[in-house]
Structure 1
């Protein structure tokens, strides 16, 4: 169906309208470039700040004369009637974008600590997995300590840990997946304005969300061919196995159990194990589902297609109000960016670089670590460039990002680069001046 557009002055915007086009480039605004539903008076004020008029999609949302509401999934769509164990009444998520300061510490002051933290996290998760496989108990205090360290690092700088996870593949998929998902959850939660104690609960829950897989045969988990129906049933059982494992600890937080229990539920009722619909899924469970799916798409797995970050974001966007809440998908794109820290990208002049941190206002002009020049030649010394700012004494605009690349396409050694950060003061000085 073609988009049916209607030009509307920003003075007459209403909650429920779907903005599909602006009177200026999306890149000059903080709004999702694919379009979005207006869901608050704050968003209307933001539109009035940046624009004089916009175009609305009269098929997707309200018109000037329409009072119809955006349709929501019906609980009647639920396919599963299993009794829920730890899911209570869902508390609405209150987004507070200004809860944390927009300014944060530079990567240079966070890098060494974040790199050591990644090593400690990897070792701790592998140790936990091994202990559970051989019948030992779970040390929830260790998990919470890791979660607290992740949150503290992300509060200081939300880009550094993401940069490291994208730059260096951390061991087996099952370990790397839980670690990276937890880091994405921390960055997402920071963007939403969750208090620090709630961030630690969220990160702990996401770290432990796949803990039930320690009770499933490794050969099955690492299978590269499609699962049979029976194997799908077995693998999906990791949710209930995980909840049972964690519930044995009398000190386990109820919210952690809820996250583990609901991270595979989906907005349209197609998820498992209960087939919950819409906001029946607790907010933390919805957040966990989004970060779990995003990292699965952008990680090398025994099965499934490997997506670039921008491809994964596009896929998530298409699932708004289908698999995931439209509001949360929009917020996730804002939090992580189309080209997250660590993404390999090609610029309009043909050069290639790694994103250091994304620019929420100018998505195609992030901070870049340039590793190849416009002729495809690898630079002897990587060069730091903020694409949103002109070069000193130059009137020429910086190039912009034109496409995402797989990190395997740019042929560089991440271990050597990390060693360079840790051991070469001159390289640090050049990068972070």
Structure 2
């Protein structure tokens, strides 16, 4: 084979940066290009996951033979521009992600209001929304992670439902599930808390600890969800499993049906993990947001009796120790947003720094690549711990 330096028509890309539509020509190993028998376009996230699980860190991509929407279409004689384009696309993708999140919250608000009035849930609008979310995840999951990190206390129910849908799609993609299954996961995520529309909002938004009686009222949202889902037309069993099982526990102490063990299918188990994680990392009127690292510890503390231990570890690997969009403090006191991360090096992501906790002031906005720096992450932090608003820096 020719040396890497002579492979000008091809672009070397880390496996975690692969996108659907890119044409994988060969693998990279020991400074040599290694031919592969199944060269071709990436058609789904499962193919990328298979490469990653095989221990392959980089591949060589044929830009010319990649699809037009792969993000690589430009002269192959200048691969540096292609890499810069991937970075520039992040800004565009974040704008698209914000628009998608706004659309999702608008649809959920409409459906919740109609459900409160006794109207039947129609699944078709959610199918279109799910397809848009899947495309966005395949295009740039990190853009959606950044947008989902922007939370407001007064829109929890809507944002939580959208984030659960996004996390389920991301988790399902990591597990190599088929696209049609991802669509059903998203719909289940959007609708998983639909029963709460019938719970007294004063109880849902109570700033103090709930009484036993009030907690029983909140738990009734699952009984309401059963009624709503029974009337809904065209909702798949997978979507129903997510909606009706995200409070079940493996030891049978959950609700509404007290299912246990194998009676809780994969998608129900996934929804339990995702629902808890997003709830823990969200700020509410009665609590501050928990850092992802602390939330992971909480999830692990609930295994194996409440949550599926193997799935929890898969979820942690999927999201990452320091998820894109989360806030961290570096060893020099600077605070920043995890901007880019790779599964092969989760402890050394790229961080967009904008504030100093030591100096208590804004700093120059820079992207710090911890893989190329002497600095390191001191700890993950929650937005509420900052005296400034990090939202503008997303």
What TM-score do you get using the length of structure 2 for normalisation? Answer: 0.74
- Greater shift, 376-385 or 306-315, is seen at 376-385
Q: Which of 384, 387, 393 pairs up with 1:408? A: 384
Distance in 2 of aligned mates of 1:356 and 1:224 = 33
Tell me the CA shift for residue 340 of structure 1: 1.1
Q: Say whether the 8 Å CA contact 2:330–2:377 is kept in structure 1.
A: yes
* Superposed CA offset, 1:68-124 (max 9, x none): xxxxxxxxxxxxxxxxxxxxxxxxxxx968447769965234112111111111222
Aligned to 1:292: 275
Give the structure 1 partner of residue 374 of structure 2: 398
* Structure holding more helix per residue: 2
Aligned counterparts of 1:156 and 1:398: Cα–Cα separation in 2: 32
Residue number in structure 2 paired with 1:331: 314
Q: Which of the pair is proportionally richer in strand?
A: 2
122, 137, 146: which one aligns with 1:154: 137
Q: 1:272 aligns to what SS in structure 2?
A: coil
- Asked if structure 2 preserves the Cα contact closer than 8 Å seen for 1:97 and 1:192, the reply is no
Change beyond 3 A, Cα 1:177–1:347? same
Aligned residue pair count: 318
Q: CA deviation at 1:181?
A: 1.5
Q: Given that residues 359 and 367 in structure 1 are in contact (C-alpha distance below 8 angstroms), is that contact kept between their aligned partners in structure 2?
A: no
Unaligned runs of 5+ in 2: 1-44, 53-57, 59-69, 71-85
Structure 1 distance, partners of 2:383, 2:303, is 27
Counterpart CA distance in 2 for 1:184 and 1:124 is 18
Structure 1 unaligned blocks of 5 or more? 1-94, 391-396, 419-433
| CA displacement 1:284-323 (0-9 Å, x = unmatched) | 1111110100011111123356311111011112222122
Identify which of structures 1 and 2 has the higher relative contact order when contacts are C-alpha pairs closer than 8 Å and 6+ apart: 1
TM-score normalised to structure 1 length: 0.68
Within 5 Å, give how 1:11-410 maps onto structure 2: 98-99=48-49, 106=87, 107-169=90-152, 171-304=154-287, 306-373=289-356, 375-376=358-359, 378-379=361-362, 381-388=364-371, 390=372, 397-410=373-386
Matches of 1:273 and 1:158, distance apart in 2? 33
Contact preservation (8 Å) 1:262, 1:282: no
- Is this contact kept in 1: 2:348–2:370, CA < 8 A? yes
Q: Which residue of 1 aligns with 2:393?
A: 417
1:194-213 CA distance string (max 9 Å, x none) = 11111110111011011011
Give per-residue Cα distances to partners, 1:26-46, cap 9 Å, x unaligned: xxxxxxxxxxxxxxxxxxxxx
SS of match in other structure, 1:244: helix
